[in-house]
């Protein structure tokens, strides 16, 4: 948030001081010559006049005129921090943030002890992602006095500092949010920021307390309620999450987002039929949440309705084209429906979007093998092994894939691994593995036969 330009204008007196200078008479002996006082304008006064003209133009949103006056002022007085500060505002207002940063840097260099210059520079640097440098200026701002509304100004500085320090120094960030909360005890924003950071650290009890404080300060805050529900879900405290949502829906039955959230909570408790109803209510209520569509599709999978699940997942993919989970869901249900050709590109896209999705590699291996793309199947299994441990199913799929490629030693090795770890859980596959081993490794055939 940038400093309101009205606050900037009170930093320095805007009045222009006219200095009168007497003119000496060239002929004092002539009594008819009168002496006059005429005004001369010093270079400093001219600069102040130009800045005043610029600030008047800024008040009327005439940024082109303001910029012209300020450029003239800076040309005459390159060390005028007020001119640089105002020019920073003009650049920011006209979407030239790089130039705004440069102008605010000049203002801070000329006069380092101005709160507003440090705050605006820090916030712009943070927006650009230069968090380390932004922290320097925001920290400086917290140690200075705003020209007006000191508590509100310092709250913004502490909040900004917390946000840029959240990744590199979470504890310092939490302390910054605490300072903001002290300065503005009725503002839920510091508590929301702290709660979000604590959630990312899996400090769910502390996050819940911050979200609860935020909801007390603003009972209608969707961010606070959603955050609190997410924390309860992470804690598997589904009953508390459900209670909040039902209370919210009792007062606002048309709240589509609340219906969707309740559906997720019910699904987590295995109440799939009621969860599906809530997802439908959310979608019918006008929510544009594509994640609700994805959730509804998942419930149809659990209910065994693959066709309807596919329909929902196709909608989700259309609305979330860069979402790996949506493509994985669609590819997986297509695999379940034995639509292997259609499934393969969806699973490949899921992996492209989320390269560490081990489950997607596993399903891709199944689909690629079904499509007789055996090299792709083996490659997918190798990538899967980077993220997930081997299972009887992956050993069996490796074995059959090598078998199809006529890679006998590798096929034998993986059939043996499969038999060693399956333990009778998949009798049909064990029967197949034993007979293939007898055929591929006949010198050890007796070892593979089941002893009667």
Q: What is the DSSP string of 143-200?
A: TS--SS-HHHHHHHHHHHHHHHHTTT-HHHHHHHHHHHHHH-TT-SHHHHHHHHHHHH
How many CA atoms within 13 Å lie on the side-chain side of 362? 16
What is the per-residue pLDDT for 295? Answer: 79
**19: which strand partners?**
40
Per the prediction, the chain carries an average pLDDT of 84
What whole-number distance in Å separates Cα of residue 193 and Cα of residue 181? 10
- Please report which confidence band the pLDDT of residue 384 belongs to, taking 50, 70 and 90 as the band edges: very high
| Token representation of residue 81 | 């921090």
Whether this prediction's pTM lies above 0.85 is answered by no
Tokens 């010198």 identify what position? 443
Query: Is residue 37 packed enough to be buried (19+ CB in 10 Å), middle (13-18) or exposed (0-12)?
Result: exposed
Share of the chain above pLDDT 70, in %: 88
Query: Is residue 371 packed enough to be buried (19+ CB in 10 Å), middle (13-18) or exposed (0-12)?
Result: middle
At residue 34, does pLDDT exceed 60? no
- Please report which confidence band the pLDDT of residue 323 belongs to, taking 50, 70 and 90 as the band edges: very high
């Amino acid at each position: 948030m940038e400093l309101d330009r009205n606050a900037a204008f009170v930093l320095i007196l805007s009045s222009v001081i006219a200095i009168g200078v007497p003119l000496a008479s060239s002929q004092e002996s002539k009594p008819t010559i009168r002496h006059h006082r005429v005004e001369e304008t010093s270079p400093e006064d001219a600069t102040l006049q130009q800045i005043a003209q610029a600030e008047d133009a800024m008040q009327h949103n005439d940024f082109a005129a303001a910029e012209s006056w300020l450029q003239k002022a800076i040309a005459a007085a390159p060390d005028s921090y007020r001119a640089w500060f105002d020019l920073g505002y003009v650049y920011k207002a006209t979407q030239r943030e790089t130039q705004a940063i440069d102008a605010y840097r000049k203002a801070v260099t000329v006069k380092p002890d101005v709160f507003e210059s440090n705050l605006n520079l820090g916030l712009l640097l943070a927006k650009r992602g230069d968090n380390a440098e932004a922290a320097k200026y925001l920290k400086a701002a917290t140690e200075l006095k705003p020209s007006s509304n000191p508590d509100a100004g310092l709250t913004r500085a502490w909040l900004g500092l917390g946000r840029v320090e959240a990744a590199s120094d979470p504890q310092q960030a939490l302390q910054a949010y605490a300072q903001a909360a002290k300065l503005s005890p009725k503002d839920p924003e510091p508590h929301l920021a702290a709660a979000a950071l604590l959630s990312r650290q899996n400090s769910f009890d502390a996050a819940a307390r911050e979200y609860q404080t935020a909801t007390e300060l603003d009972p209608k805050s969707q961010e606070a309620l959603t955050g609190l529900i997410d924390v309860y879900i992470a804690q598997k405290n589904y009953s508390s999450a459900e209670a909040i949502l039902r209370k919210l829906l009792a007062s606002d039955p048309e709240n589509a987002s609340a219906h969707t959230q309740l559906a997720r909570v019910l699904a987590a408790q295995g109440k799939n039929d009621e969860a599906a109803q809530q997802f439908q209510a959310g979608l019918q209520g006008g929510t544009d949440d594509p994640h609700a569509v994805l959730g509804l599709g998942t419930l149809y999978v659990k209910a065994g309705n693959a066709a309807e699940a596919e329909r929902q997942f196709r909608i989700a993919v259309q609305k979330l084209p860069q979402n790996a989970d949506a493509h994985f869901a669609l590819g997986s249900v297509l695999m379940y429906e034995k639509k292997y050709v259609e499934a393969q590109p969806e699973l490949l896209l899921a992996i492209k979007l989320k390269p560490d999705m081990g489950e997607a590699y596993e399903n891709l291996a199944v689909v690629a093998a079904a499509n007789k793309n055996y090299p792709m199947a083996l490659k997918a299994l190798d990538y899967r092994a980077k993220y997930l441990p081997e299972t009887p199913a992956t050993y069996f799929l490796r074995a059959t894939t090598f078998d199809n490629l006529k890679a006998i030693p590798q096929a034998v090795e993986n059939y043996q691994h499969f038999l060693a770890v399956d333990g009778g859980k998949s009798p049909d596959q064990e029967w197949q593995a034993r007979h293939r081993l007898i055929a591929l490794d006949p010198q050890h055939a007796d070892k593979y036969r089941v002893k009667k």
